[in-house]
Amino acid sequence: MQGVVKRVVPEWPANKDEFEVIALKDGDAVIGAVELRTGEEDLVFLTSDAQLLRYPAGQVRPQGRPAGGMAGIKLADGARVLSFTAVDPAEDAVVLSVAAASGTLAGEEQTSWKLTPFDQYPRKGRATGGVRCQRFLRGEDGLAFAWAGPVPALGAAANGQPVALPERDPRRDGSGTPVPAQIAAVGGRM
C-alpha cells in the first residue's frame, strides 16, 4: 500500500473515542497527515530515490472511513515515501532534500543538501512518479531526509543549535552541497 493517499470525509462515529481512518497492511506506516485549509493546496510526496510529485488536492476525491485510499505516487522498486505534505502554491515555499550513503555508520556518512524554490517543480498527475529533486554526489545513493513547506525553513544540529540552511538553488534536479554539520531537525512555519 506504499504511496497511497486518502482524503477523508469528516465523519465521526458516535460514542467512540478511537476509530480507524485508514487500514494499514503489514509494513505500512502513515508518513504524513495534513489539514487542507482551503482545498487549493498541492499534495507533495518526496521519495528516497529523490523523486518529488506534486498535484492539486482536488485530484483526490474525499472518501468515507471504510475506504482504503487511492494511488498517490508510483514508487520505483526499492523506493519509499519519506515525506508527505500539503503546500499552498500561492505562498513562498521551498523543498529541502538531504542525500546520504546507506550502510554507513551513524555520524560518519557524507551528506549533501539542497534548498530549492517549490515553484521550480511542475505539477504532475496523481499516481505518477514525479520529477527528480536532487542528483546524488559520489557515494550517495538516496535521500535521508526531505521536506516541502513554507518559508522560513529552519534547521538544527544534534545539540539543538540553529544551523543555517544552504542558499536556494534554482536548479530543481541539481546536486546538493556538502552538509557542514549533522542536521537533527528541519521544519518550517506551521
Q: So what's the pLDDT on residue 146?
A: 94
| Per-residue pLDDT reduced to its tens digit, 80-110 | 999 999 999 999 999 999 998 876 655 556 6
> 3-class SS at 119?
helix
List of the chain residues with pLDDT < 50: 184-185, 190
Task: Using DSSP, state whether 38 is helix, strand or coil.
Answer: coil
Contact 99, 142 (CB under 8 A): yes
Task: Say which CATH number the domain at 71 has.
Answer: 2.120.10.90
Domain extent at residue 37: 4-188
pTM assigned to the model? 0.88
Which cell numbers in the block locate residue 1? Answer: 500500500
C-alpha 127/C-alpha 55 separation (Å) is 10
What is the model's pLDDT at position 184?
A: 47
The structural domain count of the chain equals: 1
